[in-house]
Structure formats: C-alpha cells, structure tokens
Structure 1
Amino acid sequence: MFISNSVISEDQKIKVAKLCNAIILRENKGYDFAAWKEGLLKETWDVLTQYDNVTLMNDTCFGPLFDIEPIYNRFEDQSLDFWGMTNCPYANNGMPGTNDAIPEHVQSYFICFKNKVLQSKVFRTFWENVQIETKVENVIQKYETRLTGILGKTGFIYTTLYDTNIRTGITHHPDLATWYPDLCINNKVPFVKVKSFIRFPHPKYILKLIQEKSEYPVSLIQDAISDSYDPFTALLVCDKLIPARVNRELPETSLKIAVHLHVFYLDLFEQYFIYFDSFLFNFDLFITTDTLEKSKEISDCLESHVTAKKIKEIIITENRGRDIIPWLSIGDRLADYDIVGHFHTKRSPVAEEWSGITWQQEINDLLLRPINEIVNIFNTNSKIGIIIPELPFIFHIPIPLRFSYEKNMQVTMQGLWRKMECRKDINFEVLMTPIMSCGTMFWYRPEALRRLFQLKISMEEVPPEPLTIDGTLLHCIERIVVYLAWNEGFDYRIMVPESQKISGFVDNLMLNQQFVINEQLRNEKIMILRSRSYRLSRVLLVPLRVFRKIINFILK
C-alpha cells in the first residue's frame, strides 16, 4: 500500500500503481502515524490479521542500499514479535518539544510487526487512538517513542538489525541513524536517513561510502537533496562543480541556442566576439545597447568577425537597469530557445585594481572558453536549468556581514519570491551566502527563469544610471536566479577551474561564520570591559565619598 500526504500527478500514479496494491492520497495532516492509521483501517483488521507480518516505513530515508530479503528471513526464523532497522537508546534528556527523557524505542522509519502483534488488542487500540497532531514533536512524544514500550509491557519481544546500545565512543546523540550514518552503513543497515546528509559534518563522505559499500545509485540521493533543499545546502552535499575543460569535443546536439550581449562600454565588447568566433555550433546573437551611435559602431567593428553573421537583432534600449532590464525586455525573443547565454560589458575598476585581473576575464574563462563542456551538460542532462561561474576571487569576502545593504537585499529578495508566487519555501533573511552568478552572467534554460520574465517591473523600481549605491532591485535579481531555477524543479552547476576541488561559495560561508564568531567575541569583550569599568568606577567612587566626608568634617 502506498500512502501520500501530497498531490501526485496521473503519470506518477501509473508508475506507483505497478508497485503496489492500493494508493491512498490524503491531506497532509498528522504526519506519518496518522497516514499509517488511515492505511491500516482501510485494509481492515480482519485482513491485517491474515498477514504473516506488516511493515510500516516512511520516506525519511533512502534505500535499500543492500538486499533486505535476507534480513526478513533472518528475523522470521527468530522468536521475535516485532523488529526494526535501528533503535534509539534511552537518554536522560532530548525529547523533542520537552527535552524530557527519551525511552528506548525502535525507530519508526522502518518497523515490522509479526502476526502475533497484528492480532493483539493492544496493537489495535494503539492505532485506533492515534490522533491528528499539528506538531511533529507531539507525534514523536505520543506515538513513535511510546509504541515500543507499550508493546514491550504486553510481553512482545523485539530487536533491531543494528542495536545502537552497543556502541563505542559515541556519546553525543542517541539518534545514530541521523547523526552517525557512517556507523549504520558499516553495520549493513540498508536505509540511510535523509536528514543525516544535512546533519553529518561531511555528507559527501557518506555518498562515497554508499558507492563503496553498495550498488545503490547515489544520483537518486543527489537529485532528491537538490530538489528538496535550497541550492546552498545542496552544494554541501552534492556534486555541483564542473571543471572548465576546454578540450572536450562538441557533442551532436539539436539544442536551439541564443546569446544575449548587452553592450555599454564599447572598448570591452569586442573581446566577446573573439570567443563567439570560436563557437562551432549554430546560435543566434541578440545585442542590446543604449544609443543608436553605439549600435552603428558595433556593426562597423563586427565586419572582421565571423560572428557578425550570427546577429539576429541589435536592439536600442533605455540606459537604465544596467544589463538586467535590457535582458528582461527581450525575454519574449529569447523564450523560444532551449538555452541562452547572458553576458554584458559591465566593468568594476575597484575590483580590477584589487585583484590584478578583471573579474570579467575570470567569468569568461569559465563560461565561454569551455563552451563545448557547457553545451554537453545541457545536452545530456535535462534537469540542469542554469550554469553559473565560480565566485571570482575578488568576492571571497564575508559580504553579508561587511555591508549593511546585504541585509536589506535579503528582505527585498523575500518580497520578490512572494511576488512571483514561488512554490518552494526559503528564508532569504537567514541566508548568509547566496549561490549566485557574480556579475550576472550565466547560461540558462528560459523555462527555468520564466517567473522572472513574467515579473512586471516598473521603471520607478529601477534606480537611474549610474548606480550610486549597491543593494538595489538589480542586485537582488542577480542573487535570485539560481533559486528561481530551483523553484521550477531544475538543478544548477558551477563552472570552476580544472584543478579546483571546493567552491568559493563554501569558502565564503566559512568566512562569514568566522566573521560572526569574531563579531560575537568582540561584542562580548566590549561588554566585559564595560562591566569591568563600571565595577572599577564603583570601587573608586567609595573612597572618594569617604574622602569628601573627611574634608567636610575638617572644614566644619
């Protein structure tokens, strides 16, 4: 029996129907225990008591990593009444919602009851008394942590595949299935908890361990994490980095490709055509610029470039909104393509002076030189909705904490998210390091960013050029595109130099976290100094009062 607390499509129903006898679609109320109750009651107790055993499991885990038939055979041959994969040992505190003691119990993500339990009154009474709870803490307190004890008091015998009471040197948390997935995998537990990839300090090690110990396709795990968790969390778990290889042969592709280039600085635009001339595939080029004179000069300069034949249109736009508003203004022209590259000639003299290399050059080396690699990614993986460059070196600083406007942008991004009626939940206001394309240059599928092109932006919302401040709506759009692709069910990739193993976004998070720690320590030191100075002033004040009394007495 398959029970879902969410809506599934007809295609999904057809797939699931091949794997089960019944499908129950219900409201998302009461979590897994309420769902199991509904399934058990629908099957009826008369039918349930005819089974040799009934297994209840939920979707909080991946697996099976290993064949589970031998596990069933092993426990069927033992004098047991119910069993599970792992148990949570007794703990003096830690009960969710109360921090009371946690009784030992079989964890409910996978638990099997034999016929003797199915026929018992205590088992039936337990399920008939399950209520719809609105807080998961209540479900854990009232049902998950109590079921084992209720059955145990009746005399039923239970065990687990991995008895977590037998553990060496593990004292941090009783829930080994979530906090120590490596121990579970090494002890042949065939399921790994989804949350373990978020709570374990080295989640990519868990993926590697699964690959080494089993034949389970880790791509299923990566796809699920990427879809369910925000892009930065997914970066910590999944393989998002693509080496910017330049020696890949161009794959055969039927992709319809376009490039948009916004030209403001004429002295920079021709460098792009050196890259475009090397493209070995068909593409259409859309150019936007802000004056007719620039348009004519662009046309004159392109006579020596083969890419000139690729120009679909040169469009004159208002000098407002940098490259973003011109790009959004031709969204209807770009919507017919499978993938689009967005580029521009924006410059940052300060960044160039600091880094010794233009950040545009860094981005071009990652998004234009390895173009065959990029086309291959889109060509072979329909789930990829956007490809961005690695964080340029100049931006490896704790941005959100250094600049107050970053906090304002987080609020604006949250407002944009609501305005575009995005379906996934995310809190930008606690997002320290956004996954973003610095400089707003990237390759994307138009359908992945459709909500952005449907967004109605008035010119009153766009500050006039030149921008005198950071933190505008334009900067918010720069930071939100990867999240919009994620909202539409697409994944992303980051192009990095070939030898690079870790993303600068992760480095930036560490810098941010260290900056927070340093700020907290600094504030604590200030409070200590203030407290000490106050106490010192009180100490000095007492002798002064005594001295004043003595002087007053003498003068009298």
Structure 2
Amino acid sequence: MTSLPLPASFPVGGRRLVVYVVWDRRGGVEDFVPFALAGLREHAARVLVVVNGSLSEEGRAKLEPVSDEILVRSNAGFDIWAHKDALDHVGDAIGEFDEVLLTNDTWFGPVRPYGPVFDRMGERAVHFWGMTDHVRQEPNPFTGKGVLPYHLQSFWIAVRREMFLSEAWRRYWAELPEMPTYFDAVLKHEAVFTETFAQDGFTHDVAFPESDHPTEHPALFNPDLLVEDGCPLVKRRPLFHYPPFMNRHAVSGRRIVETMSAYGYPAELVWSNLARNVQPKVLNTDAGMLEVLPDRALADEPETVPRLAVVAHLPQTKDVPRVVGALRSVPHPFDLFVTVHDAGIEPELREAIRAVDPAGLAETEVRVVPEHGRDMSALLIGCRDVLIDGRYDLVIKVHGRTPRQRSQNARRYFSRYQLENLLNSPGYVRNVLALFDREPGLGLVYPPMMHVGYSLPGRAWSFYLPRAKQICEDAGIQVPLDGISPLAPYGGMWIGRPSALRRLLDMGFTFADYERPRSKSVPALTKVIERLVSYAAAEDGYHTRTVLTGEHASISHTSMEYKVDQLASTTPGYPLEQVQFMHRAGWMGTGGAVAMTRMYMRINHPDLARRLHPVLHPVGRVVRVGLRTAKATLRRARTLVKGGRDD
C-alpha cells in the first residue's frame, strides 16, 4: 500500500489557486461578487471564476478586473460539477500551486479580513481545511434515516498539494456522480467529501469549528458570533431560509446584518442582491425589516431636504379633511397632485384643500382621470409624467377610498391603519423619510399586511397569482414570487422612490386595461398590480421595508399573538412542525366529509393519496356538487314548509 504524503503547512511565498463559482438567474453578476473577489485576489496567485449558465457583457466587465480567467459552462451539477470542470480545465497546471481553494457565491464577504484566517490556517500542517463544519446527525435530516456524517461545509474547501496531486483526489473527481437536484449535491458530495478523504488517511481542520459555538450549525444559526470571532464571511442562506425554520432556531437576520455593518461591510450589497433573488416576504421576515417608529424624530434635519410629491386620489370632496389633513404631518415642502373622476368637483375640492391648509403644501394640481383602476391607474398612468421626469426624490401615495364590503368598524380601522402608519406626526414622518436617506437601495415603505378586520393572511394571492405570473413574465420580473401571500401594500398607500416604480410605469397598460372585468373569475388588474409593487421594485435592486407606529404595533402584535395561539391549540410541536403538518393535510375547505377524508389520507397514507389523486379528484368534485345541491334542496324544502305553516 502506497503511503500518503505527510500533511504540510502553506509555505512562505506559496501560490494559491482560487476557484470561485457564480450563478445568476439573469446571466449577470451581483455587486457583492466582485467585492468578495477583490479581497481574495491579494491572497491568490490565480483566480479562476466559473460561471454556471450564461454571462452578460456587463457581468463579464465586473468579473474581469478581479479575476485572471473566466470559464462559462452549462448550469448543470451545481457548484460541485463547476469545480470539477474547473479542475479539468486547469489540468496538469495545478501542480504549480501549493493550495487550491474551492468556493462559490453563497456568502457575503469580506466582513472581516481574509488575511488572518489564511495566515492561521496556513501554519497548520493538514491536507485540507474548511471555513466551517457541520456535526454528525442521526437520522439524516435530508432523508429521515441513516446518518449525515460530520463534514466540512463545501462552500469553502482549501486543499493542499499533497492531496490534490494524489491518486485518491483524481479518482474522487473522475467518479463524481451526476447531481440533478440540490439534495443530490448535499448527499453525494458535501456530506461525503470529508469522510471519504479522512477514511483514505488525509487529515483536515476547520477555521471556525461548531464545537466553539452554541449550535450544531453556526454558519446558519450563529453567523453574527462567527463574525465576532473573526470569520471573514457570512452565508447568504440565513437571510432567505424558510422563516418558520429560522424562527424555530431563534435566528435574527436583523442582528446578522447589523453585525456585518458594524464591521464595515456595505449593507447595500446585501439588500440589492437579496431583493433581486429572494421572495420579498421571506426576506422581510428573515431580516426583520419591519420598523416600529416613534413620533419623536430620531435624527437631525437632513442636510438635503428630499423633493416630495404627494399623489392623492380623492374622487369625493368629503375625503379631503381626512386624507389631506394627514399631510399636515409632512415636515418638508411638497407638491400635491390630486386625481379625480369628475372635473365638476374641482372648485369645491380646491376650497376644501385650502380649508385644511397643510403647512408644507407648495403647489396643487388637479387631474381628471377615468374611473377604471381607481387610485392605481391614476398614479401609474394619470401621473406617470410626475414620476419619470426626475423632479422628485420621493412620492407619497394616498387615497380616500375605503373598502365597501366591510363593516363600518373595519372601514374606520382601514383608514387609520393606512394613514397613521405613514403620516402619524411630523416626527414620525421624519423617521420614515430618514430610512430612505440611510439606505440608497430602499425603494418602498408601507404598513404590513392588515389582519385586524381582514382575512388576508393565508389567501392574499388567491386567484390573482396566475395573472401576476404572466405580468412578471411580460415585464421581465424574475424576482421569485412568495408562495402564499405577497409582500404588498394592501390598501394602496405607500412612500417610495419614483425610480423603484419604473417597471410599473413602463408596462404599457392603458386606462382601458384597468376596466373592471365582466367575469368574477377574471382578476382585476388594479389588485394584481398592487400585489406586484415590491416585486417590480426588487427586480431593479430596490428592497422594501414595512413600518408601524408604536400604537399600531401594540394592536397588531397582541391580536396576532392571540390568533396564532388559538390556531396552534390543536396541533403539537413548534410552529414549524404545526405549519408542516397543516401543509401535509392540505386544503380543509369547510371541513366537510370529502375534505376530512382527503386530509386523513394525505397525513396517514401519503403515497396512496398521491396514487389515488387523479381518480379521486374528479370524484370529489362530483360529490361536493351533489352535497351542495342536496343541501340547497333541503333548504328550499324547509322554506316551503315553513311558508305553508305561516299561511
């Protein structure tokens, strides 16, 4: 048996090859990538960037200054097969190096300098090393059985020449299996790489071991502690992983980004990347992007006062005191653009505005627009010129409508919730506007989804989703759509940058497109566009924050807490397990016999339920129609009997 070369430290003046894999759904390169590579370049003799998929000319221009070579390949086999292709591409020239670093674009960095970690690990005589590791788990969480071995995490594996010149290394990559799914990549490479080479006698080490941290997966659960310990990078996943899972493990994405910023990492690189590539509601949740703001201004007057436009849709004069009255809280001068449906009310409307007399009001213009699309078309079509000519830094969108099919209390709360959470007081509005001053990539601010007096949670996409997908495809919006409810300004009031609305403004819709559909099965365009505001902004790199006053935060949290407590009372476990259980059960409907049977089968006999679904689904539809018909017949019969008795 051939003895292995002894492990060696990284030699003084040694040469390091960095292989960095990039994937972008648009074929571009996000700005955090060249920032990461610029820091690595001083520690590498050669930087080879491998692009999975396509690469635009703009993307290539970003990569060329921070790399020595760019290899574009098909997007197959994830990062692992990209590393394999890179090693094949380098070929025998790999012998020119003392260490090969295999890494990718799944992390932000440098948050702390790379140098101290390279120096510390370079002194250790090992065959390979990683940045972080993962504990052995039984059963394997990916399969529910067997063992997930202890392993170094594959996003950063550094290998010394004593190992990458070995026959074991050549054999491993030559026999690498196909990896069509993400789970294949984990189970067929990441989870076995460390164990495979350890069993062959190669030694390894880790820069930031999990044993030094309070959880078994610090890269996911404790990235802030890793950074404080000197780790130069933060994994992106903690800011877009399934929110109930992150909640189960008490991970604070808000704390993670604050820690990164405290060490000098540009937060705008985080927000622009995640805005374009993460479901907005997931990002809003994982990163804790709700701001509860006080009425006392937290910052001094800005050096540059933002140029403000207010677009107010006020088809009825009676709405002026409530809506224009709220504009008294705007602490800076603003121009007011009022949209109406009836030109005849303009004199009365102007008089009502003069009676309110907001202190910051500079100019007022009244525009007559068609009724189709109400406040949404009035803004995007009727006031398009206001938003595209560069006169204004921010636009405040308000309106006077209240939901018709709601109780009086719900209508009152709707108006309070929308206006107060945007325009509660001069100090509060100063704090909202300061968010835009602090974050150049902040595109939109609005109140969170209403749930007091509303049943939006769990159903906000409803039947709007298919048309929303089509509009996104037509408009080139590739931001992933949230699965159940979108992050959206329900109620139609927000503060935003005109540039964040560019895609909505350029969609080419006319007032006629906003006409109310004749069929109730066709979703109204105004409701669909309302649900896509943050997605359109995110495609251009703008993120969204939600805002609440202290009073509304108190109302919202206590109400939501009680409702969650009630909903969770019949299912065991953490919210994560409760949610997973209910999702397995599927749609309950009104709790009829068909639905209960279907849920029982899905929970207790999932394989059988899947096989029977093509047969039972149409049968279930017939049964439901039959039951509804029978119930309706019985109701009519009772009515006739009762009517006969009354006679």
Q: TM-score range by the shorter chain?
A: 0.7 to 0.9
* Alignment partners' CA distance in 1, 2:375 and 2:589: 41
Task: Report the alpha carbon displacement of residue 388 of structure 1 after superposing the two structures with TM.
Answer: 0.9
The equivalent of 2:516 in structure 1 is: 463
* Counterpart selection for 1:112 from 152, 158, 172: 158
Which residue matches 1:21?
Answer: 68
Q: Which runs of 5+ in 2 are unaligned?
A: 1-17, 30-55, 572-581, 598-647
- C-alpha separation between the residues in 2 aligned to 1:114 and 1:83? 9
Residue of 349, 353, 356 corresponding to 1:298: 349
Is the Cα–Cα contact under 8 Å of residues 479 and 535 in structure 2 kept in the other structure?
A: no
Aligned to 2:447: 389
1:463 positional shift: 2.1
- Larger deviation, residues 119-128 vs 518-527: 518-527
Residue of 252, 256, 259 corresponding to 1:211: 259
- 1:346 corresponds in structure 2 to 401
1: distance between equivalents of 2:452 and 2:227?
41
> Partner residue of 1:234?
283
Distance in 2 of aligned mates of 1:16 and 1:478: 37
Q: Which residue of 1 aligns with 2:484?
A: 431
Whether 1:318 and 2:370 are equivalent positions in the alignment is yes
State the match for 1:450 in structure 2.
Answer: 502
Which of 11, 36, 58 is residue 104 of structure 2 equivalent to?
58
Cross-structure match for 1:417: 472
Q: C-alpha deviations, 1:130-178, integer Å up to 9, x for none?
A: 47643223333333333334433432222323555x59997xxx75643
| Closer, same or farther: CA 333–135 of 1 in aligned 2, 3 Å | same
Q: What are the within-5 Å matches in structure 2 for residues 92-241 of structure 1?
A: 92-94=138-140, 96=142, 100-130=146-176, 133-164=179-210, 177-178=219-220, 190-197=232-239, 198=241, 199-201=245-247, 202-204=250-252, 207=255, 211=259, 215=263, 217=265, 219=267, 221=270, 224-241=273-290
2 CA distance for matches of 1:169 and 1:4?
31
What amino acid sits opposite 2:238 in the alignment? S
Q: Confirm whether residue 360 of structure 1 aligns to residue 415 of structure 2.
A: yes
Matched to 2:255, the amino acid is L
Task: State whether structure 2 residue 539 is matched by structure 1 residue 497.
Answer: no
1:105/1:347 Cα in 2 relative to 1: closer, same or farther (>3 Å)?
closer
Q: Which amino acid is 1:38 matched to?
A: D
Deviates more, 1:195-204 or 1:345-354: 345-354
SS of the residue aligned with 1:203?
A: coil
Alpha-carbon distance in 2 for matches of 1:524, 1:269 = 42
**Which amino acid is 1:54 matched to?**
V
Q: Is the CA contact 2:254–2:287 (under 8 Å) kept in the aligned structure 1?
A: no
CA distance 1:147–1:273, shift in 2 (3 Å): closer
Q: Distance in 1 between matches of 2:397 and 2:83?
A: 49
After TM superposition, the score normalised by the length of structure 2 is 0.67
Per the alignment, residue 286 of structure 1 pairs with: 337
Contact 2:373/2:525 (8 A) holds in 1: no
Give the one of 29, 33, 37 matched to 2:80: 33
Query: Partners of 2:208 and 2:420 in 1: how far apart?
Result: 50
How far has the Cα of 1:14 moved from its partner? 5.5
TM-score by length of 1: 0.77
Q: Please, which moves more after superposition, 81-90 or 218-227?
A: 218-227
Amino acid at match of 2:192: R
Q: Is the 8 A contact 2:179 2:188 kept in 1?
A: no
Residue 301 of structure 1 and its aligned partner are, at CA, apart by 3.3
Are residues 83 and 507 of structure 1, via their aligned partners in 2, closer, same or farther at CA, if it must alter by over 3 Å?
Answer: farther
Equivalent residue letter for 2:401: K
Paired letter, 2:282: T
- Call closer, same or farther: CA 1:510–1:176 in 2, change over 3 Å: farther
Q: CA shift at 1:187, angstroms?
A: 7.1
149 and 464 in structure 1: CA distance in 2 versus 1, 3 angstrom threshold = closer
Q: Secondary structure at the match of 1:286?
A: strand
Letter in 2 for 1:260: V
Secondary structure of residue in 2 paired with 1:363: helix
Is 2:459 the counterpart of 1:407?
Answer: no
Q: Distance in 2 between matches of 1:249 and 1:162?
A: 41
Letter in 1 for 2:278: Y
Counterpart Cα distance in 2 of 1:5 and 1:469:
39
Aligned counterpart, 1:440: 492
1:462 counterpart letter in structure 2 = E
Aligned match of 2:126: 80
Answering whether residue 540 of structure 2 is matched by residue 488 of structure 1, we say: yes
2 CA distance for matches of 1:187 and 1:527?
Answer: 57
Deviation at 1:295, TM superposition (A): 1.7
User: CA 1:183/1:493 → structure 2, altered by over 3 Å: closer, same or farther?
Assistant: closer
DSSP 3-state at the match of 1:161 = strand
How many Å separate the matches in 2 of 1:230 and 1:457? 28
- In structure 2, how many angstroms separate the alpha carbons of the residues matched to 1:332 and 1:182? 43
**Counterpart residue identity of residue 251, structure 1:** P
SS of 2:319 mapped into structure 1: helix
CA distance in 1, matches of 2:560, 2:523: 19
2:23 is aligned with 1:5: yes
Summarize the Cα distance change of 1:500–1:120 in structure 2 as closer, same or farther, 3 Å threshold. Answer: farther
Mean Cα deviation higher: 504-513 or 447-456: 504-513
- How far did residue 41 of structure 1 move? 3.3
Paired residue total: 519
Counterpart contact for 1:62–1:191, Cα < 8 Å = yes
User: 5+ residue gaps in structure 1?
Assistant: 532-556
Larger radius of gyration: 1
Higher mean C-alpha deviation, range 85-94 or range 29-38:
85-94
d(CA) in 2 for partners of 1:500, 1:376? 20
Contact 2:501 2:536 in 1 (8 A): yes
Question: Where in structure 2 are the equivalents of 1:465-544 lying within 5 Å?
Answer: 472-498=524-550, 504=556, 511=563, 515=567
CA distance in 2, matches of 1:250, 1:13: 42
Of 183-192 and 251-260, deviating more is 183-192
* Conservation of the 8 A alpha-carbon contact between 2:254 and 2:286: no
What is residue 602 of structure 2 aligned with on the other side? Answer: none
Counterpart-to-counterpart distance in 1, 2:214 and 2:327: 59
User: 1: distance between equivalents of 2:401 and 2:411?
Assistant: 17
Counterpart-to-counterpart distance in 1, 2:552 and 2:496: 23
Which range moves more in the overlay, 53-62 or 175-184?
175-184
Q: Is the 8 A contact 2:452 2:556 kept in 1?
A: no
- Aligned-partner Cα distance in 2 for 1:60–1:511: 37
Flag the 1:460–1:340 CA change in 2: closer, same or farther, 3 A.
closer
